[in-house]
Amino acid sequence: MSAPSSLAPRLSWGRIALFAALGLFALFFLTPLYVMLSTALKSMDEIRNGTLLSLPLSPTLDAWAKAWSGACTGTDCGGLKPFFMNSVMMVVPAVGISTLIGSLNGYVLSKWRFRGSELMFALMLFGVFMPMQVVLLPMSQILGWLGIASSIWGLVLIHVLAGIPSTTLFFRNYYVGLPDELVKAAMLDGANFWQIFRRIVLPLSTPILVVTLIWQFTNIWNDFLYGVVFSGADSKPITVGLNNLANTTSSVKEYNVDMAAALIAALPTLFVYVVAGKYFVRGLTAGAVKG
């Protein structure tokens, strides 16, 4: 449904108020981004002499360079670069593995139902919502025993485990919409479990694949809780780096560097959002609204 058409394009007072409201809200959402950007392009002098909203008079990329390779994040002063790399090395396997497993699980739960499979699904579903605080302590122990407590693989493992319920949910709900008769026809044609998956179900999965990849990438890249609990000295992801950078109690606070660092951390997910935003929205609504 879209709104009743009688009030659509005429320019009335109501319409003007509508545009004003929409515009104001747009400002509300965009201003922080503007502030981040402009602050990151200023020098500290300019910041002290100006206000939040003043334009950068002589924009410079110094803060960005420092954020990337020179800022202090605790005891090291190597900038965000190592953290960025850690995040990349963590995100790629975590997203790939959790998506793959989710697609197989969704395939089984939707097309190969058996006694108890719905119950299995329901039990797994709780994992989408439960507060992760409750697994932090036991997981630290387990990662310690496995010897991966301070490595990227520890983070990959926990992101995969935490992601499987969500990815399974996405794929299962999507595959339920694929006609069962396709699978039946393929079985009569002689295809086995794997052939049906590879030749018929997977080729039809592109929409949900994109949604799931974007959803997982955004969540895993943006995660902080696991990053701060489960990483060792060399495996901290970029969110942890950013937080350390912005919160170091060093002598002089360099707000421009802080903002530049925040933007660097935000760039990958923002880029994905701008490029593939509508799939992102589909992911949000699919995950949250469905049961």
> HSE of 44 in the Cβ direction (CA atoms, 13 Å)?
8
DSSP 76: B
Q: Which is nearer to another protein, 78 or 273 (CB)?
A: 273
Q: Which of 5, 12, 58, 75 binds another protein (CB under 8 A)?
A: 5
Number of residues that bind another protein (CB under 8 A): 118
Q: Which of 89, 130, 72, 128 is nearest to 231 (CA)?
A: 89
Smallest distance, another protein to C-beta of residue 61, A: 19
d(CA 238, CA 84): 5
Is 210 one of the binding residues for another protein (CB under 8 A)?
no
DSSP 73: B
Is 136 one of the binding residues for another protein (CB under 8 A)?
yes
Q: Which of residues 25-84 bind another protein (CB under 8 A)?
A: 25-26, 28-30, 32-33, 35-36, 39, 47-48, 51-53
Is 218 one of the binding residues for another protein (CB under 8 A)?
yes
Q: Which of residues 104-123 bind another protein (CB under 8 A)?
A: 104-105, 108-109, 111-114, 117-118, 120, 122-123
Is 281 one of the binding residues for another protein (CB under 8 A)?
yes
Q: Which of residues 184-203 bind another protein (CB under 8 A)?
A: 184-193, 195, 199-200, 203
Q: Which of residues 228-267 bind another protein (CB under 8 A)?
A: 228-229, 239, 242-243, 246-247, 255, 258-259, 261-263, 265-266
Name the burial class of residue 24, with classes exposed (0-12), middle (13-18) and buried (19+) by CB atoms within 10 angstroms of its CB: exposed
Is 269 one of the binding residues for another protein (CB under 8 A)?
yes
Is 146 one of the binding residues for another protein (CB under 8 A)?
no
Smallest distance, another protein to C-beta of residue 264, A: 10
- Cα torsion at 208, 210, 216, 219 (round to 10°)? -110
d(CA 180, CA 185): 9
Place of tokens 């902080």: 224
Centre a 10 Å sphere on the Cβ of residue 57 and count the other Cβ atoms it contains. 11
Is 95 one of the binding residues for another protein (CB under 8 A)?
no
Is 147 one of the binding residues for another protein (CB under 8 A)?
no
Q: Which of 43, 182, 232, 248 binds another protein (CB under 8 A)?
A: 182
Centre a 10 Å sphere on the Cβ of residue 268 and count the other Cβ atoms it contains. 18
- Cα torsion at 266, 268, 272, 274 (round to 10°)? 50
Tokens of 168: 């399974």
d(CA 30, CA 259): 15
DSSP 253: -
Q: Which of 90, 95, 139, 208 binds another protein (CB under 8 A)?
A: 139
Q: Which of 65, 77, 88, 161 binds another protein (CB under 8 A)?
A: 161
Smallest distance, another protein to C-beta of residue 92, A: 18
